[in-house]
Structure 1
Amino acid sequence: METAQLMRSARFRAEREDSWRKLEALVEEAERRGLHRMEFDAAKELAALYRQVTTSLAIAREISLDRALLDYLEALTARAYLSVYAPQERLGGIVGRFFTQSAPQAMRRNWAYVVAGIMAMFLGAVVGYLLYLEDPSWFYVFIPGELAQGRGPDASTASLRAVIYDEHSREGGLGAFATYLFSHNTRIAIFVFGLGAFACAPAAMLTFYNGIIIGAFMALHVERGLGYDLGGWLSVHGVTELAAICIACGGGLKLGTAVLFPGDLTRADALREAGRDAVKLALVAALMLLAAAALEGFARQLIQDPVIRYVVGWGIGALWLAWFALTGRTKT
């Protein structure tokens, strides 16, 4: 019985082995170079031989050939399937498509969530600003004393101005605040996105709180006649950095909305569907935070003129907006 099975396997293999070897060589070429770089005739033959080997595998299973032959055919079939049907796009193509299509299209599809994040930030800034004007002691509630380093309501106007423009003071005061603000905003961006799935509230509240910090800090300087100067200082990196928070918040709100209002889908399916765009928003926010880190680390120190600070900060903001609004539109 076993001898007869081996003889059937040997005869079955002898009749088809040439095509299997040829397919194996083509699969190796496709794995090494990629199907898109193969000659058309070779790629066409690969697809045809793949169909033949699947038939051989089905027959081999039906007539119960030896295990070694079945293992070989199963492995060859799996490799050929991946060569023919697996996505052929390389990492460079995926990254390029993200920048030219996926990211800006996701931003446009979810603009309402991003606007909601902007509104949460803006309202928080208004609240922080007004609370400070009502009672300056609120400043220390929102901004810890070790962070303020004496640049609070008790500081003189001259010392506040010196921190903004005096190169020797940059490592203290606003320099420390900028470092704290970036690390703080990075954590906030992660939290507002990750916690957004919990009924939206944490994402909106954290973004609101972040706005309160900015509002209180701005109110301090406006009260001393330094609002324009601080605005320029913040614009260099803050336009990009704070926009990233709002976009991350938008991604979190997208997830939270899917949980609250799944529609005809289960909540798990709705969350999975919403996650496709939400993750793209999170990646955009991460990219913007990296850009903000570079701006905070170099441009803020090198640029001292407030007008140029505004131009650089808001000019870069306009470039982000142009990317979101104009890139990846299909021609009609």
Structure 2
Amino acid sequence: MDLDVFVTAHRAEWERLDLLLRRGRRLTGAEADELVALYQRAATHLSLIQSSAPDPMLTARLTQLVARARATVTGVRRASWRDAVHFLTEGFPAAVYRARHWWVPTALVSVLLTVVMGWWIAHHPDVQAAIGAPSELRQMTRPGGEYETYYSSHPEASFAAQVWTNNAEAAGLCLVLGAFLCLPVVWILFTNVLNLAVGAGLMTSAGRLDTFLALVLPHGLLELTAVFVAAGTGLRLGWTVVDPGPLPRRTALAQQGRAALGMAVGLALVLFVSGSIEGFVTPSGLPTWARVSIGVLVELAFLTYVYVLGGRAARAGETGDVEMTGRSAELPVAA
């Protein structure tokens, strides 16, 4: 394509579009229709220039012009409480549901690795010796030791806030770093699995696995599920880099990235719940059966939320992506 000829042929249209945009709300009906037509043509022109004869200055000018026109045509959309309700009842659970083929296997493999590594640590004194000196391990695993006092060593509210922050950071890193070909997500997930396996293995070797489970299960079921969802979503995002499917790679990444951003907000709320349980329920004086029952009920409630509300929304076409008016324009690309 001869760029000079193309610019000469369409400059008048771009200048006319710019003039109509400057007039704002003072357009007549015919001028408004003309603005829409010129906006659509300018978007096509921008796509052609980007794919056939990219020119930085012209591309920047047309990008700005198309963005202004799109804002005028579609209007500025403000978030409302209805958006929050839609997100909580449809968008977020649907996104988690649609990602189940990634995070469910992630959860199963992680739990299996935790069990195997925990058993290995529990039955191999040489491995335990590599973790710490015998006196240190006894201090951690004895009744009233560090594993038990950890949950009551700080005021409930500050401890819950600290736990929530740490877990939200781990989940956020899984979502953000997923685009780097999955490798950082695998490392974060392995680190969490290793920490859990060490605790389970050491407490098992001391004959106190029941105590360990009583301390972990109330908050850990929901907390680990949230981490698995984040890791699975990050892995899916990373795989999109390798195999974007039928969509152009940039479009597929943008779609998965927007869904992951919404997932981060939803998982922050989920981790707030698990952090509150860890801060207030786990160290409480409630009987073990009551604390574990709370954790199981909350986990079942979350899974029901995902598979019932999320499944229904996903079957109705909800993807967890933002609304069309909140997205940047997706222009056609050259075949």
What's the TM-score bracket when you normalise by the shorter of the two chains? 0.5 to 0.7
- Evaluate the alpha carbon distance shift between residue 113 and residue 316 of structure 1 in structure 2; reply closer, same or farther with a 3 A threshold: same
| Aligned twin of 1:157 | 142
1:115 is aligned to 2:97: no
Segment drifting more, 150-159 vs 130-139: 150-159
Look up the SS of the partner of 1:315 in the other structure: helix
Counterparts of 1:303 and 1:99, CA distance in 2:
33
| Residue-by-residue CA offset, 1:13-68 (whole Å, 9 max, x unaligned) | xxxxxxx9xx77xxxxxxxxxxxxxxxxxxxxxxxx8625637999xxxxxxxxxx
| Residue-by-residue CA offset, 1:67-95 (whole Å, 9 max, x unaligned) | xxxxxxxxxxx999968843656421111
| Aligned twin of 2:298 | 316
| Aligned twin of 2:81 | 92
Q: Kindly, what percent of the aligned residue pairs are identical?
A: 25
| Aligned twin of 1:213 | 195
**Deviation of 1:152 (Å):** 2.3
Query: Counterparts in 2 of 1:60-79, with a 5 A limit?
Result: none
Counterparts of 2:120 and 2:28, CA distance in 1:
71
| Residue-by-residue CA offset, 1:202-235 (whole Å, 9 max, x unaligned) | 2123212211211110122223332222212112
- Evaluate the alpha carbon distance shift between residue 177 and residue 222 of structure 1 in structure 2; reply closer, same or farther with a 3 A threshold: farther
| Residue-by-residue CA offset, 1:168-221 (whole Å, 9 max, x unaligned) | x9318xxx9999876554432222222211222221232122112111101222
Contact 1:236 1:296 in 2 (8 A): yes
Look up the SS of the partner of 2:245 in the other structure: coil
Contact 2:120 2:201 in 1 (8 A): no
| Aligned twin of 2:280 | 298
Contact 2:160 2:276 in 1 (8 A): no
If asked which structure has higher relative contact order (CA below 8 Å, sep 6+), I would say: 2
Counterparts of 2:70 and 2:176, CA distance in 1:
37
Contact 2:233 2:260 in 1 (8 A): yes
Counterparts of 1:106 and 1:203, CA distance in 2:
19
**Deviation of 1:282 (Å):** 2.4
- Evaluate the alpha carbon distance shift between residue 108 and residue 248 of structure 1 in structure 2; reply closer, same or farther with a 3 A threshold: same
1:126 is aligned to 2:107: no
- Evaluate the alpha carbon distance shift between residue 177 and residue 101 of structure 1 in structure 2; reply closer, same or farther with a 3 A threshold: closer
- Could you tell me which runs of 5 or more consecutive residues in structure 2 were left unpaired when the two chains were aligned: 1-22, 37-66, 317-335
Letter of the structure 1 residue corresponding to residue 142 of structure 2:
T
| Aligned twin of 2:263 | 281
Look up the SS of the partner of 1:302 in the other structure: coil
- Evaluate the alpha carbon distance shift between residue 242 and residue 139 of structure 1 in structure 2; reply closer, same or farther with a 3 A threshold: farther
1:258 is aligned to 2:236: no
Letter of the structure 1 residue corresponding to residue 29 of structure 2:
R
| Aligned twin of 2:39 | none
Counterparts of 2:91 and 2:192, CA distance in 1:
28
| Residue-by-residue CA offset, 1:213-264 (whole Å, 9 max, x unaligned) | 1111012222333222221211222112111111110110111110111234
Counterparts of 2:221 and 2:92, CA distance in 1:
19
- Could you tell me which runs of 5 or more consecutive residues in structure 1 were left unpaired when the two chains were aligned: 1-19, 25-48, 59-77
Counterparts of 1:287 and 1:190, CA distance in 2:
12
**Deviation of 1:278 (Å):** 2.4
Q: Whose radius of gyration is greater, 1 or 2?
A: 1
| Aligned twin of 2:94 | 105
Letter of the structure 2 residue corresponding to residue 110 of structure 1:
A
Counterparts of 1:308 and 1:96, CA distance in 2:
32
Counterparts of 1:187 and 1:57, CA distance in 2:
45
Counterparts of 1:136 and 1:181, CA distance in 2:
31
Counterparts of 1:178 and 1:225, CA distance in 2:
29
Letter of the structure 2 residue corresponding to residue 223 of structure 1:
S
Contact 2:95 2:259 in 1 (8 A): yes
| Aligned twin of 1:51 | 29
Look up the SS of the partner of 2:137 in the other structure: coil
Counterparts of 1:86 and 1:181, CA distance in 2:
41
Query: Counterparts in 2 of 1:231-270, with a 5 A limit?
Result: 231-270=213-252
Segment drifting more, 220-229 vs 177-186: 177-186
| Aligned twin of 1:197 | 179
- Evaluate the alpha carbon distance shift between residue 105 and residue 55 of structure 1 in structure 2; reply closer, same or farther with a 3 A threshold: closer
Contact 1:117 1:207 in 2 (8 A): no
Counterparts of 2:74 and 2:129, CA distance in 1:
61
Counterparts of 1:183 and 1:55, CA distance in 2:
50
Report the TM-score when normalising by structure 2. Answer: 0.63
